[in-house]
């Protein structure tokens, strides 16, 4: 039975989404327009994502650092493409206390300028390179339309900024982050089968030589950009004078990258996996993997609950016993809304049969096992299967909603029926890219670098195609 607090997904997807955010207590609206309050349970999920990604960064030689949140306007203007690209979204601070500032400061929309200024002071020799830093922080972008996790004026993210001795090393870093960190994290932890590729010139990051992107398809066929990695070459190093003595004892400019992903990953998990009863969390990123619900206060029930809790915790499975003063039905519903992967029900009738009930959140499957079974092994095997099944289910839906179009009429027909990813050839002309946007706001999501064109002719103008592109509408 669907949760009455949650609108049915197939009736109103947008309302369903915000209902889940509210019912699961992930976030709530604040009195600061466009900014949300990240509630404790939402923050726990973000912390879990952060922990995994942070370990991946550190394992590949990156260190965390913290930069100021304010950027002087003169510093921003040193790289003209960046300031022009972000100008409509920048929030400015013009007064300090009761005094007008001599120079206005922007609240960081991104930190390339701060890192570049810092690197210009600390990089002296090729022996200093590479430097691979990351920071966890919030940024501010003055978005016109906002939605919790998907698009907000202030949001949580990580941003990596690296400098290198050679072009090859910097490009390797750009691709490593995209393929071996972001894409791997989406597949292995979020159970979301994303696609990666190259952004078009029009869609790349302001100031980048090129941008790689991680694109995910939501349940309703709308695309979500879920992480980007940018190769800057020497654009920023020349603008900010980041020079080093190379191996020939000559001055050279560093090669630079930046990359980031955000708390919109929480939104992606909601929109790919969840259902009409609330969240469905992949076990690998669930802050609480198991809830034990004792149905009754009898000693044998409570003793078994404690025994299970100890056995699960000893195997590093996060677990809690729900002994709150609520009805069993309410506890079951609450666990489902929060997306806790495994629920263990211990009731007197089951115990008389020497059994307990285990419920999988994603399928609602109820399994009876012997009360003396190896509970930790059974739960771990069940969660491993759930993690695998969620990815497979999402992959099947993504492939079902990925279409091929050879003509503009075919593109229109697809968009009129059921949106999704559309693979279509493109000549590389920005005018044809804009023509596609006239069809319900379709945008290029990414260029598929390792796939050949379908017909070899641009889907818009019928001229020779240079790229096979995935198109889609976006959040």
Sketch the domain layout of the chain as residue ranges: 13-273, 288-384, 403-472
Report pLDDT for 145: 85
Percent share of the chain, pLDDT over 70: 100
* Whole-number Å distance between alpha carbons of 353 and 355: 5
Q: With 0-12 CB in 10 A as exposed, 13-18 as middle and 19+ as buried, what is 168?
A: exposed
**Domain 13-273: CATH superfamily, name plus number:** Bira Bifunctional Protein; Domain 2 (3.30.930.10)
C-alpha 144, offset from chain centre: 21
What does the pLDDT look like over 205-261, one tens digit per residue? 999 999 999 999 999 999 999 999 999 999 999 999 999 999 999 999 999 999 999
Instruction: Give the chain's mean pLDDT.
Output: 96
Full DSSP string of 6-31: S--TTT-HHHHHHHHHHHTTSEEE-S
38 SS3 class = strand
pLDDT at 448 over 60: yes
| Distance (Å, whole) CA 227 – CA 160 | 11
Predicted pLDDT of residue 134: 98
C-alpha closest to that of 2 among 241, 273, 219, 278: 278
Residue found by looking up tokens 């997904």 in the block: 9
Both tokens of 160, joined, read 């990596």
Question: Is residue 1 over pLDDT 80?
Answer: no
Q: Which CATH superfamily is domain 403-472 in?
A: C-terminal domain of ProRS (3.30.110.30)
Q: What is residue 77's predicted lDDT score, i.e. its pLDDT? A: 87
Contact 369, 302 (CB under 8 A): no
Q: Is the pLDDT of residue 83 over 80?
A: no
- Quick one: pLDDT at residue 78? 86
Q: Cα–Cα distance between 340 and 379 in angstroms, integer?
A: 13
Model confidence band, residue 4 (pLDDT cutoffs 50, 70, 90): confident
- d(CA 217, CA 225) in angstroms, rounded, equals 9
Mean pLDDT for 190-208 is 96
Collapsing DSSP states into helix, strand and coil, what is residue 284?
Answer: helix
Confidence of residue 48 (pLDDT cuts 50, 70, 90): very high
Q: How confident is the model at residue 81 (pLDDT cuts 50, 70, 90)?
A: confident
pTM tops 0.85: yes
pLDDT at 84: 79
- Region 277-290 average pLDDT: 98
Is 356 in contact with 369 (CB distance < 8 Å)? yes
pLDDT at 467 over 70: yes
The arithmetic mean of pLDDT across residues 451-470, rounded, is 96
Binned at pLDDT 50, 70 and 90, residue 5 comes out as confident
Beta strand 319-321 with 290-295 is parallel
Q: Which two tokens stand for residue 85?
A: 């690209």
What's the gap between Cα 324 and its chain centre? Answer: 33
pLDDT at 85: 80
CB atoms under 10 Å from CB of 377, counted, come to 11
Question: Please, which residues have CB within 8 angstroms of residue 272's CB and are 6 or more apart in sequence?
Answer: 190, 191, 192, 216, 217, 218, 219, 394
Q: What is the model's pLDDT at position 2?
A: 60
DSSP 140-200: E---SS-BTTTB-SEEEEEEEEEEESSHHHHHHHHHHIIIIIIHHHHHHTS----EEEEPP
pLDDT value of position 88: 86
Distance between CA 411 and CA 472 in Å, rounded? Answer: 10
Per-residue pLDDT tens for 140-178? 999 888 899 999 999 999 999 999 999 999 999 999 999
Q: What integer is the mean pLDDT of 198-207?
A: 95
| Mean pLDDT value across residues 392-413 | 97
In angstroms, the CA 241 to CA 244 distance is: 10
164 Cβ neighbours under 8 A, 6+ residues apart: 129, 130, 170, 173, 254, 255, 256, 257
- Element of type H or E holding 100: strand 99-107
- Return the closest-CA partner of residue 83 out of 238, 239, 230: 239
Q: What is the mean pLDDT of residues 118-137?
A: 98
- Residue pLDDT, tens place only, 321-358: 999 999 999 999 999 999 999 999 999 999 999 999 99
Average pLDDT of span 275-300: 97
Region 289-308: mean pLDDT is: 96
CATH topology agreement for domains 288-384 and 403-472: no
288-384: CATH topology is: Rossmann fold (3.40.50)
């Amino acid at each position: 039975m669907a949760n009455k607090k949650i609108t049915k997904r197939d009736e109103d997807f947008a309302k369903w989404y915000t209902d889940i955010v509210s019912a699961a207590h992930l976030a709530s609206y604040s009195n600061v327009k466009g900014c949300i309050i990240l509630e404790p349970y939402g923050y726990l999920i973000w912390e879990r994502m952060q922990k995994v990604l942070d370990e991946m960064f550190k394992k590949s030689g990156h260190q965390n650092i913290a930069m100021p949140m304010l950027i002087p306007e003169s510093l921003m203007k040193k790289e003209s493409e960046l300031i022009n690209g972000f100008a409509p979204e920048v929030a400015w601070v013009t007064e300090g206390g009761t005094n007008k500032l001599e120079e206005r400061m922007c609240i960081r929309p991104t930190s390339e300028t701060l890192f570049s200024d810092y690197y210009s002071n600390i990089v002296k020799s090729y022996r200093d390179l590479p430097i691979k830093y990351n920071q966890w922080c919030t940024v501010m972008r003055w978005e016109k339309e906002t939605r919790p996790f998907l698009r907000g004026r202030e949001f949580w993210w990580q941003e990596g900024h690296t400098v290198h001795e050679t072009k090859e090393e910097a490009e390797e870093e750009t691709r490593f982050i995209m393929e071996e960190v972001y894409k791997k994290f989406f597949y292995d932890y979020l159970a979301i089968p994303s696609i990666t590729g190259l952004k078009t010139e029009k869609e790349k990051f302001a100031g980048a030589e090129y941008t790689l992107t991680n694109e995910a398809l939501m349940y309703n066929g709308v695309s979500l950009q879920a992480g980007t990695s940018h190769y800057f070459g020497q654009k920023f190093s020349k603008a900010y004078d980041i020079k080093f003595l190379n191996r020939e004892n000559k001055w050279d400019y560093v090669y630079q990258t930046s990359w980031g992903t955000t708390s919109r990953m929480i939104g992606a998990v909601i929109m790919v996996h969840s259902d009409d009863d609330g969240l469905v969390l992949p076990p690998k990123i669930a802050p609480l993997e198991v809830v034990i619900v004792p149905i009754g206060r009898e000693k044998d029930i409570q003793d078994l609950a404690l025994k299970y809790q100890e056995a699960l915790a000893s195997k590093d499975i996060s677990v809690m016993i729900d002994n709150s003063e609520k009805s069993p039905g309410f506890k079951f519903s609450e666990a489902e809304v929060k997306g806790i992967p495994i629920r263990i029900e211990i009731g007197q009738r089951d115990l008389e049969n020497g059994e307990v009930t285990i419920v999988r959140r994603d399928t609602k499957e109820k399994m009876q096992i012997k009360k003396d079974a190896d509970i930790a092994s059974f739960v771990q095997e069940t969660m491993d299967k759930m993690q695998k099944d969620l990815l497979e289910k999402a992959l099947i839906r993504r492939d079902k909603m990925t279409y091929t179009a050879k003509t503009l009429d075919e593109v229109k027909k697809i968009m009129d029926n059921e949106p999704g990813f559309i693979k279509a050839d493109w000549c590389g002309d920005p005018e044809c890219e804009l023509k596609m946007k006239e069809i319900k706001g379709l945008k290029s999501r990414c260029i598929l670098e390792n796939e050949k064109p379908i017909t070899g002719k641009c889907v818009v103008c019928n001229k020779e195609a240079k790229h096979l592109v995935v198109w889609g509408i976006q959040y």
